[in-house]
Chains A and B, each alone.
Chain A
Amino acid sequence: MIERIFVTEAAVQYAYVKKICDRAGLEPEFIRDDAAYRRDIERFLTDPVGQGKHHLLLDVFRGEFFRKCPGTRGKVCCNYYVIDQTSNCPFDCSYCFLQSYLNLRAIRFAVNVEDLFRELEAVFRRHRFIRVGTGELADSLALEPLTGFGGMLMEFAVEFPGVVLELKTKSSNVDELPDVRTKPGRGVIGWTLEPAHVVSNEERGTATLEERLAASSRAAKKGYGIAFHLDPVVFFPGFEEAYLNLVEQIFSHHEKLDWMSLAGFRYEPALKSYVEERFPNSELLDGEFLRCSDGKFRYLFPERIRFFRRLVEKVKQLSPKTPLYFCMEDARTWKLVMGEKALTDPVLTPIFLREGDDEE
């Protein structure tokens, strides 16, 4: 997966660097900084997005790791906080916005994790309840065999009673994670799930659907809450049955989830050329899209509503207590799919606290 490791001058002094290189069995290549990577490596790549995913850049991050998930303009916010310690991901998914979003093609991994933990401690002590994750700009567990970072972060976070830490992944790397059954905080492992057809056609390098579901059962035995994200829901011939079957598969493994999110496939115009050039067999752009007010393209609104209703009905039927929410959809969509009281449903309260509700 990782073929080359680059270490910046700032990161050399950190013992964590040696640990990662030893685990990867790779000799580090020393460079001055990320600009040197861009200048001397990245610009000579013939497929910068794809090849960059095999390069790990160990660096030091001097800014703030912790921030509120920006969500999207005009859509309902789920009050999620994110930790940006890693950016980019070794998995290569056709629908991934990172292709057009990131300006460095290597996976950038900040080794100054002590700084991160110091920052987090101050944040976690300030909040009575906070839901936080690392999966915004990276897969939380894809590099776990090399870095062990997910486990370290989990061990730290679950000591705080009000903290819910979600590690979001498309891998099956859960076996090295700590047992959290007796901890005061809540550890959640969230999987992005797609029907097998989408996994094989649109995701490169990820664990199969069966592997992800099996990993979720193993994680649950260690005391983790389980979350699934049907995001993005991709329309392809036979998608309705495929997603409804997927929901059945999920609830044959778990009676109740910590939460489940739904989101139709949407894309910024810039993503289109990446899909066309890098994924010639992709079916992602085959659907009917309309440009929405936030500038993104989404499937036709009535078709989204119709299918979400079926999906939600299925989830409610199989697991009525599983909190279900939409990611990046507007309030009208929520109401049309789940009814007028969708946004005030008490089942969502524990995960959906509004800004300001949670600070002491």
Chain B
Amino acid sequence: MIEYFQKKHLIKDTRFNFRKADVPADLAKSVQLEGILVPLIATGDREPVVLDGYRRLGFLKEEETVPVQLIRDRKAALRASVELNMLASPYSEMEKACMVSSVLENRWMDDREILDTLLPRLGLKGQQIVLDSCLTVRLLDSKLSEVLAARKAPLKFAARLSRETLDEQLVLTDFFSIHRLSLSRMVQAYDLLVLVRKAENNNFSAIIRNLVEEKEDVLEQLRQKRFPRASEYKKQLGSLLGPYQGKLSFPEDLEGDAFRFSCQLKYPGDARKYAAMLREISENDEIFHFLSEYFGND
């Protein structure tokens, strides 16, 4: 049932404002031009608590009247709010985790109800480990949580980071922010940092301090720290085969077939050109030395 309330009579409880991302510009424009077209969802009796519509409400004055779909049963209200949001503008995984934690902390639902009804509605697997991950994410430092929410980080990654100590989380927050890493680069950087930390028996702060700011890409520097021999091998191969890049196709994996090339013959003259190139490679002393160093003289 749709009822009308002045904004000031609606309870805005931040515990139930799950949206972390910035307000989309088109939403602001729409509310300013047309007002609130789709009713807000709220629950409660005399003092309705808003569940859906926080962002839209933000554009209205306290005296303005808004349409509200008041659903007295709070579980039903929550379900309706989730349903609507998942259809219109799905929550990010961090937002979902925030909602699940809040619902459990405020005892709106027990574990079983969350597994059976809330997680599937949120597009998550109704499994205990997913619920546990949602709860773990609460342990994240608030700034790191903001960084992750802004990048729409997946729950699994956020849960991994939340297992780090607060000190390490703070270092990561700065590192991710200073270098403006995208989500995929954040994941790669974290993977590398964890492995380097283990290998050097160090902490993130000391590892990051040793990276050279002006030098090359920080991810590449971490990669070289973590995989020194592989990096060297790739570098040597790169310098030997570089002149032929774009002319011959190389397998990317540097496995046994690294020196088995292929090429496309488009014109009759190509065969002679490539044959000359292959002869050049086979007579290249540097390549010969490289191969014999790594694989012996066979």
Contacts and interface: CB of A to CB of B under 8 A. Distances in A.
Chain A bound to chain B: yes
A332 B255 contact: yes
B128 A45 contact: yes
Nearest to A298: B255
Contacts of A291: 253
Contacts of B228: 288
Contacts of B198: 286
Contact of A303 (B126, B127, B129, B229): B229
Contact of A43 (B115, B199, B256, B258): B115
B255 A336 contact: no
Q: Chain A's interface: helix, strand, loop or mixed, by majority? A: helix
Nearest to A334: B256
Contacts of A305: 256, 294-295
Contacts of B194: 276
B117 to A, nearest CB: 13
B195 interface: yes
B14 to A, nearest CB: 30
B298 interface: yes
B270 interface: no
A312 to B, nearest CB: 13
A336 B125 contact: no
Interface in B133-179: 156, 160
Interface residues of B, number: 32
A290 B295 CA distance: 17
A292 B126 CA distance: 35
B126 A43 contact: yes
B233 interface: yes
Q: Chain B's interface: helix, strand, loop or mixed, by majority? A: helix
Given A43-B125, A286-B198, A300 B253 contact: no
A332 B125 CA distance: 43
B238 interface: no
B256 A288 contact: no
Contacts of A339: 298
A339 B295 CA distance: 12
B240 interface: no
Interface in B205-235: 226-230, 233-234
A94 to B, nearest CB: 15
A48 B127 contact: yes
Contacts of B226: 288
A330 interface: yes
A43 B255 contact: no
Contacts of B255: 292-293, 298, 301, 330, 332-333
A46 B132 contact: yes
Contacts of A332: 255-257
Interface in A39-54: 42-48
A330 B258 CA distance: 12
A339 B126 CA distance: 54
Given A288-B229, A303-B229, A46 B195 contact: no
19 contacts: A43-B125, A43-B127, A45-B129, A48-B129, A277-B160, A286-B195, A286-B198, A290-B253, A292-B253, A293-B251, A300-B229, A300-B230, A301-B258, A302-B233, A305-B256, A330-B255, A332-B257, A333-B255, A339-B298
Given A285-B195, A301-B256, 7 more contacts: A46-B129, A290-B253, A291-B253, A293-B252, A301-B255, A302-B294, A336-B295
Interface of B: 115, 125-129, 132, 156, 160, 194-195, 198-199, 226-230, 233-234, 251-258, 294-296, 298
